[in-house]
Amino acid sequence: MVKVFENTDNLNQKLATLFVEKAQEAIEANGKFTVALTGGSSPAGLHRLLASDTYKNKVDWNKTYIFWGDERWVPLDDEKSNAGAAFKDFLNNIPIPEGNVFPMWKKGFEPEAYAKEYETILDNHLEDGDKFDLIILGMGDDGHTASLFPNQEVILKEKEKKVAAYFLAPQDMYRITLTAPLINKAKQIVFIVFGEKKSNALYEVIEGKSNSNLYPSQLINEGSKNVTWMVDKAAASKLSL
């Protein structure tokens, strides 16, 4: 499902409302809400909204558990840290217990070892050990999502692991990420995509030929009812909607 919004403000308001709805539904049904956040610049507006008085009092944060879809292997105070940005814009401004937040980085660990540790954390918190209530994803202008990058077969072909770490040579750094098989088990997946520079990749992912090696976002349940694309008009400019 593709939903096109006039601008990013309208999109973020709708997504914040959806976040609250999914949280309330999950807590009522199972006593907790599990969500994986996306990184990069895309979620900044959403995070600030969720921390505002309009939204933050509508979620029981004591029963909310925050994870990430992926992370650069850098400390939380590094400007490249997805979790660090989320703490600044969002998590430091809501009454969520420290023990309910699980960044994809931990001092004293190597990335591969922490990927295994993160799997154990997920096993202890997710429904059936592998089902998130909500996963929010972004998409790069190269068609990547989470840390599923084009032509990186070591991660794109992964079938067994829930969480994987690998060295991404073009960026000269380690990345840690949820894998496509785990992401696809989520009850609800939402992609958020902004801007004209992503319009070509969005077209290829949604309407182009199947080529997940080049456009890894295609690995995420294409056409499934549990995937919603929330995009602005600029990003959607090449779609035949």
Residue type, 204: E
Tell me, what DSSP letter sits at residue 6? S
Q: How far apart are CA 24 and CA 82, in angstroms?
A: 25
* Mean pLDDT of the residues in the chain: 94
pLDDT class for 30, splitting at 50, 70, 90? very high
Q: What is the pLDDT of residues 93-112, one digit of tens each?
A: 999 999 999 999 999 899 99
Six token digits for residue 215: 């456009």
- With 90 as the cut, is the pLDDT of residue 224 above it? no
Contacts of 65 (CB under 8 A, 6+ apart): 32, 33, 34, 35, 100, 101, 102, 125
pLDDT class for 202, splitting at 50, 70, 90? very high
User: Which strand ranges, in their side-by-side order, compose the sheet holding 173-178?
Assistant: 70-72, 173-178, 163-168
Q: How far apart are CA 10 and CA 144, in angstroms?
A: 24
Whole-structure pTM over 0.75, yes or no? yes
Q: Mean pLDDT, to the nearest integer, of 19-35?
A: 97
pLDDT computed for residue 223 by the predictor: 60
pLDDT computed for residue 134 by the predictor: 98
What would the 3-class secondary structure string for 26-80 be?
HHHHHCCEEEEECCCCCCHHHHHHHCCHHHHCCCCHHHEEEEECEEECCCCCCCC
pLDDT class for 41, splitting at 50, 70, 90? confident
In order, the DSSP letters of 107-153 are: TT--HHHHHHHHHHHHHHHSBTTTB-SEEEE---TTS-BTTB-TT-H
Six token digits for residue 210: 């199947």
